[in-house]
Structure 1
Amino acid sequence: MATSLLALLDDIATVLDDVSVMTKVAARKSAAMADDVAVLTKVSAQKTAGVLGDDLALNAQQVTGVSAHREIPVVWAVAKGSLLNKAILVPAALAISAFAPWAVTPLLMVGGAFLCFEGFEKVAHKVLHGGEQEASKLDQLKQELAQPDVDLAAMEKDKIKGAVRTDFILSAEIIAITLGAVAQADFWTQLAVLVGIAVIMTVGVYGLVGGIVKLDDLGLWLSRKASSTAQAIGRGILWLAPWLMKFLSVAGTAAMFLVGGGIIAHGIAPLHHLIQQWREAAGGMGWLVEQAANAGVGIVTGAAVVAVVTLFKKLRGQPALAH
């Protein structure tokens, strides 16, 4: 009996030793995976920054014409729609990575070309008839709000639907770029990074949008305070708010060319190698040379796509650059 007991204790000790070793291995693997997820999430966030600026500007503009007390509810409704969009796009991206990995690069190229197209189309609009178009949109909005029988609830729902549709395109670009960054990782790392980026981008974008659309209210509230310091800060915020919107729009457009051009250049091996040679030759300023080259590729790509789309619209009898 004593021998049996000792044998049992020895077996238990062996099992516990095995459990200890396996736990250490699992912990190391988990830590390594967590490191991979953190690194890939950071890389993906940097690559999707081009979409972020435009996403901020577009969504902040979506609440134009909405009464002040309905701005945050509208932003919240669009944020929920954005989460639903990403809940559709993330599984689709994982399915593509699992069953058609060859499609990742072409999808990235299409996404990059679309970014360049949007950027160049915005520049063309601004150069050709930006001021007139903005004035006409503002006049149209004023006329709609002046109508006695206008249905503000219906107008709000239309704005939310339009914003969610726009978000679907931008979210698809974000997920496609992220998928390209994690294409070589295992399934669980891909899942963690895609979900992480989806949540971070949604919370970040719509949290900032909520803050941006309330900047004028904050400035107005401070400007009515008794303190001269608060009044000065309030006036400063009121002055800054429209300039912030303009900066976001310009920065978003520039980032579209940088990110979109970078994706296109990376997908064309000879061009990518040429840009890398330029970077190495430039030494310490190599990063600037690479960014300038990516921007140039983005501008050329955008111009080419806009030209094709414009020609196609003209052949169909549609107005060109009807964005």
Structure 2
Amino acid sequence: MSGIIALLDDVAAIAKVASASVDDVVGQAVKASGKAAGAVIDDAAVTPKYLQGFSAKRELPIVWKIARGSLFNKLVILLPVALLLATFAPFVIPILLMIGGAYLCFEGAEKVWHKINPSDHHSEELVSEKLSAAQLEEKKVKGAVKTDFILSAEIMTIVLNALPQDVSIWMTGASLAVAGIIITIVVYGAVALIVKADDVGLHMAAEGNSGFVQSLGRGIVRGMPTVMLLLVVIGTAAMIWVGGNIIVHALNELGWHLPYDVIHDLAVGAAASVPESLAGAVEWGVTAFLDGIIGLVLGLALIPVVTKLIVPLSSWLFPEKQATPH
């Protein structure tokens, strides 16, 4: 009997340690995920624009497709790469971040340029018109997952940097996985709510059991086009801001401190000129604005590089991929 009691004590002790480890993983993941809030907001703001033009019944299936792609990006591709880089080549991470940041700057600046010069966007619109609904959906999902990959890489890198350095690789991997799942659920849960809000409004307007509920439903329906437009604007601005922020911080880590120091000094100086209660918000706002300016300038500079050099070179190297629109 004493042996059984001892065994049960050992099992209880092991269960307690395992429970504490799970708590540590979840706690570290949640804490580190908070550090990536800016990129998470960017991800949630960018995604709804890929759902424009589709019927209501296709919206949630498309969100699910993008969410699955996002989980694949985070857990299957980025998680192993993050662990390998953190273990064997941490010096490569800032360089990869700069490449991702430059891509975000280009994506955002390209959208700004198309608004300024809409004629440059006609060819893409004509291609979209020639695609079937299924082909267009596939094209949009691929575009969303591609953009998500860059944002997910940034999110996973931020989470990795926020985790304690003295934990085991298994704890780091588990924390990254939990953080990736939590962030994906939050982002695409929010996207699903945003894109279905007009349907909820229609239901409230038609089936509401009071005049207030019906009026609220009609207000939601009338307001959603404006909300969607704002999300496109916010998403584009966020891409430029996050891209610029990545570039500035990566350059600082690589040893060129001037851009980071100038922005930091200007932001701190601006914060010092306002009441203390507003100082934090002003410092963040000035930093984000200046990061955005750098991101926009870099993105605009990359447009001719991509369109005149990278795209023709890609067409020459992979001519079979130009045969069908994608």
Aligned-partner Cα distance in 2 for 1:217–1:23: 47
CA contact (8 A) 1:116 1:301 kept: yes
Instruction: Give how far 1:154 is off.
Output: 5.0
TM superposition shift of 1:245:
1.0
Runs of 4+ in 1 over 6 A off after TM superposition: 17-33
Counterpart of 2:216, as a letter, is I
After superposition, what is the alpha-carbon deviation per residue over 1:18-38, rounded to whole angstroms, capped at 9, x for unaligned? 999999999888876665444
User: How many angstroms does 1:159 deviate by?
Assistant: 4.2
* Aligned ranges 1:140-219 → 2 under 5 Å: 152-153=133-134, 155-182=136-163, 184=165, 186=167, 187-219=169-201
Q: Distance in 1 between matches of 2:285 and 2:79?
A: 29
For the Cα contact (< 8 Å) 2:267–2:283, is it kept in 1? yes
Q: 1:83 to 1:29 in 2, by over 3 A?
A: closer
> Which of 7, 31, 43 is residue 39 of structure 1 equivalent to?
31
Aligned 8 A contact 1:109 1:263 in 2: yes
Aligned length: 296
- State the match for 2:320 in structure 1: none
Asked which structure has the greater CA Rg, the reply is 1
Distance in 2, matches of 1:231 and 1:25, equals: 53
Specify which of 270, 273, 278 is matched with residue 258 of structure 2. 270
DSSP-derived class of the 1:224 partner: helix
Deviations 1:176-235 (A, max 9, x none): 343344484632443233213321222122222222222222222222237433331221
- Matched with 2:47 is 56
Contact 2:100 2:150 (8 Å CA) reproduced: no
* Higher alpha-carbon deviation: 85-94 or 179-188: 179-188
Q: 2:213 aligns with which of 222, 225, 230?
A: 230
TM-score w.r.t. length of structure 2:
0.71
- Specify the SS of the correspondent of 2:207: coil
Q: Distance in 2 between matches of 1:204 and 1:97?
A: 26
Q: Deviations over 1:132-189 (max 9, x none)?
A: 959x94x886x66xxxxx8655554454444434433333333334334448463244
Alignment of 1:1-323 (within 5 A): 35-44=27-36, 46-61=37-52, 64=53, 66-86=54-74, 87-129=76-118, 133=121, 137=125, 152-153=133-134, 155-182=136-163, 184=165, 186=167, 187-225=169-207, 227-267=210-250, 268=252, 269-281=257-269, 282-283=271-272, 284=276, 285=279, 287-311=281-305, 313-314=307-308
Structure 1 counterpart of 2:294, one-letter code: V
Question: In the alignment, is the contact (CA less than 8 A) between 1:262 and 1:295 conserved in 2?
Answer: no
Deviation at 1:94, TM superposition (A): 1.3
Distance in 1 of aligned mates of 2:55 and 2:16: 57
Judge which range, 241-250 or 188-197, deviates more: 188-197
Do 1:55 and 1:205's aligned partners in 2 also have CA atoms closer than 8 Å? no
Classify 1:167/1:107 alpha carbon distance in 2 versus 1 (closer, same or farther; 3 Å).
same
Change (3 A) 1:223 1:261: same
Counterpart amino acid of residue 60 in structure 1 = L
Return the alpha-carbon distance in structure 2 between the equivalents of residues 107 and 183 of structure 1: 21
- Letter of the structure 2 residue corresponding to residue 253 of structure 1: T
Identity over aligned pairs, percent: 38
1:41, 1:196 within 8 Å by CA — same for their partners in 2? no
2:46 touches 2:231 (CA, 8 Å); kept in 1? no
Distance 1:279 1:27, change over 3 A: farther
Question: Which sections of structure 1, spanning at least 5 residues, go unmatched?
Answer: 1-11, 145-149, 319-323
- The answer to whether the Cα contact below 8 Å between 1:59 and 1:209 also exists between their aligned partners in 2 is no
Question: Where does the alignment leave 5 or more consecutive residues of structure 2 unmatched?
Answer: 313-326
Cα 1:29/1:204, change in 2 over 3 Å? closer
TM-score by length of 1: 0.72
Once residues 154 and 79 of structure 1 are traced to their aligned partners in structure 2, the CA distance between those partners, rounded to angstroms, is 19
